[in-house]
Each structure stands twice: as structure tokens, then as C-alpha cells.
């Protein structure tokens, strides 16, 4: 069974969705640990209540980004992480770290990538007058939020939407569905990174999967 390590910095809503899917038997993986760079990350409570080992690795205790990443990589090696899931982990990772775990590391980003890499995605979508908004699961590569996309979910933007309402709708209607699905595919060995592309069940994804591709357990 694959060993899963989740990295968090905050509330842990995606983490909780992963825990529930794993408990229901939909993600055939073992949680090796949840690691946070913040001791006050409330998501740590979800892990502890589920009996998952937790670790705190405060980035402020390290002289620079490279030193923190080296320590984090050491913990992932010690934990024998097969899959590394970034779930609201608010750190930009160094190229060396990413290359070591490339192909084993997923992230979820609250936009329809390649639109709006980085922060403030909901405000930026509104300012651009976008008709649709959503979220994307992608493989992590050295360029920020630019790795091959695995699955996207989208919905129509309403005239009354603001950044806060978009953020909540993206989380509830998209992220909490597509992230457990992508992790399940990876845990089953159906999702891989090959030759710079996401490959699902042996098929190179020219476009990311969509909500229509969700298995019933994740709808």
C-alpha cells in the first residue's frame, strides 16, 4: 500500500476530505504523516483526531529556504513517502526539492490553470471578468503552478460573486471532490507523470480530466 504524506499550513479542509475518502476505502493508501510548517495550523487537529502522526517543521527556524527544504526532504525520505500531497502548504519549494519528488507530488490550485498561477486567484478572476472559475490538480514541477494538469472542475461565475464567495464555492463544489479523486488515481497506480505529461490509465492527458470523469465515490 502506498505511503501518503500530506503537507499543510492552514485549515486542512482538503486534508479532511482525503481522510474521509481514505477511511471509506476509496483511497488505497496509508497516511504516513501530516507535516505542517506552522504549529498553529488547525488542520493538524484533523490528523490527530484521525490517529495520523503529525510533525511540525517551522520554516522560521531555518536560515533560508534551501535549508528548510533539505530538512523537509529528509523527513519525507525517512517516512518513505510514495505520494506527497500539498494541501494548502504555503511554501514555494526549491527546484532541488521538487526534482527529488517530481512525479510523486501533487498540488491543488484554486484557478483554471494555466490562468492565475500564484495568489489572489479569485480576485484576479473577477477583475478579468471571467465567465468561469474553478480549481486544478496538477503535478508539481519547478515552475510555480505550471506542472501538468490532472483534473479541473469549473462553474459559472455569478454576477453577485465576490472573492470570498468564489473561494467558498471553489472549495466546496470543486476542490473537495477532485483532490481525493486524483490522489486515489495515484494511489492505485493509474496516474503517473511520464515524459513531462500527466498519464491516466495509460492515456496521455492532452486536456485535464473534468468533473464528468469523477468516479461515483467522489461526486
Query: To the nearest whole number, what is the mean pLDDT of the chain?
Result: 97
Report CA 161 to chain centroid distance, whole Å. Answer: 25
Confidence at residue 115, expressed as pLDDT on a 0 to 100 scale: 97
- Encode pLDDT of 174-196 as tens digits: 999 999 999 999 999 999 999 99
Cα(187)–Cα(170) distance, rounded to whole angstroms?
Answer: 24
pLDDT at 98: 98
Record the pTM: 0.97
Ordered domains of the chain (ranges, CATH): 2-218 (3.40.50.170)
Percent of residues, the chain, with pLDDT higher than 90: 100
Binned at pLDDT 50, 70 and 90, residue 78 comes out as very high
Task: Decide: helix, strand or coil at residue 76.
Answer: helix
Residue showing cell 500539498: 86
**Among the options 26, 46, 59, 109, which is catalytic?**
109
CB 41 within 8 A of CB 9: yes
46 assigned to active site: no
How many CB atoms are located within 10 Å of the residue 159 CB? 4
Distances (CA, A) of 98 to 12, 84, 95, 172, 202: 22, 11, 5, 28, 24
Amino acid at each position: 500500500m502506498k505511503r501518503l504524506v500530506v503537507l499543510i499550513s492552514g485549515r486542512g479542509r482538503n486534508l479532511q476530505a482525503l481522510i474521509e475518502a481514505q477511511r471509506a476505502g476509496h483511497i488505497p493508501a496509508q497516511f504516513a504523516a501530516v507535516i505542517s510548517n506552522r504549529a498553529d495550523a488547525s488542520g493538524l487537529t484533523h490528523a490527530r483526531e484521525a490517529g495520523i502522526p503529525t510533525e511540525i517543521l517551522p520554516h522560521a527556524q531555518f536560515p533560508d529556504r534551501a535549508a528548510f527544504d533539505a530538512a523537509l526532504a529528509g523527513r519525507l525520505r525517512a517516512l518513505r513517502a510514495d505520494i506527497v500531497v500539498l494541501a494548502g502548504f504555503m511554501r514555494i519549494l526549491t527546484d532541488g526539492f521538487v526534482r527529488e519528488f517530481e512525479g510523486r507530488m501533487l498540488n491543488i490550485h484554486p484557478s483554471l490553470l494555466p490562468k492565475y498561477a500564484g495568489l489572489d486567484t479569485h480576485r484576479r478572476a473577477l477583475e478579468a471578468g471571467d465567465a468561469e472559475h474553478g480549481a486544478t490538480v496538477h503535478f508539481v514541477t519547478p515552475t510555480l503552478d505550471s506542472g501538468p494538469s490532472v483534473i479541473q472542475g469549473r462553474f459559472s461565475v455569478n454576477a453577485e460573486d465576490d472573492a470570498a464567495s468564489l473561494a467558498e464555492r471553489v472549495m466546496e463544489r470543486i476542490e473537495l471532490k477532485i483532490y481525493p479523486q486524483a490522489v486515489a488515481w495515484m494511489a492505485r497506480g493509474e496516474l503517473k507523470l511520464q515524459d513531462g505529461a500527466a498519464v491516466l490509465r495509460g492515456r496521455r492527458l492532452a486536456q485535464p480530466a473534468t468533473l464528468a470523469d469523477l468516479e461515483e465515490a467522489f461526486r
